[in-house]
Amino acid sequence: MISSKYFPTLVSGFAAGVLTTVPVIKSFSCCILVPLAVIFALYAEKRISKETQPIEMKHALTFGLFTGLFTVLFGNAFDTLITFITRSNDFVESYPDVIKMMKSMNFMPGTDREIKEALALLEQSRNDIIEKGFSWIYTSMTLFSNLIFYPLFGLLGGVLGRAFLERDTRARY
């Protein structure tokens, strides 16, 4: 068995990464799923090590950061793999409707060069996914946004997990 101090973060990050590809759960992945994965990682580590001492804040935050980063790693890998196999994803499916909505609400001025360039980039990304199953632009956009949000919510999960598990420990003793 792997005897690493951070093995529970790897397991929880993997599980959260897999769950981020499930359609309904995907919507709650950053704000609910990642903190729950961190809480589970802290709980599992406490059970495995049979530690009775209070969890240090530094330890909880480290677990939160690592779980968030592992979720990014596995979540993006699975999302990219599924997109490659199916040649479709939420972005591809919703893009035409978003463009229609933006046109109907006059959010698309016809003369603004930056908007045209951004939309051309998104259109190219969509076409790459449909034709090849992969887009560097889409993958890097999701990776960048997930690298911001998942570790942040992982840190929040570390703080909440520490408070939750310490409350549970104090109630028993």
Q: Are residues 106 and 173 in the same domain?
A: no
**Which of 131-140's residues contact partners 24+ apart within 8 Å by CB, and which partners?**
131/87, 132/87, 133/83, 133/84, 133/85, 133/86, 133/87, 134/80, 134/83, 134/84, 138/83, 138/89, 138/91, 139/76, 139/80
Q: Are residues 48 and 6 in the same domain?
A: yes
Name the pLDDT band for 164 (thresholds 50, 70, 90).
Answer: very high
Domain extent at residue 173: 1-87+136-173
Same domain, 82 and 118: no
Average pLDDT, the chain: 90
Question: Both 41 and 20 in a single domain?
Answer: yes
| Alpha carbon distance 163, 41 (integer Å) | 14
Q: How far apart are CA 170 and CA 173, in angstroms?
A: 5
pLDDT at 45: 93
User: What is the mean pLDDT of the segment spanning 117-136?
Assistant: 94
The reply to whether 78 and 94 lie within a common domain is no
Same domain for 81 and 98?
A: no
Task: Tally the domains of the chain.
Answer: 2
- 20 and 57 in a single domain? The answer is yes
- 26 and 67 assigned to the same domain: yes
Tens-place pLDDT, residues 54-100: 899 999 999 999 999 999 999 999 999 999 999 999 999 999 998 88
Give the whole-angstrom CA distance, residue 75 versus residue 20. 6
Q: What percent of the chain has pLDDT over 70?
A: 92
Domain identity same for 22 and 76? yes
- Clarify whether residues 37 and 65 are in a common domain: yes
* Whether this model's pTM surpasses 0.85: yes
pLDDT at 1: 47
Instruction: Inform me whether the pLDDT recorded for 151 exceeds 80.
Output: yes
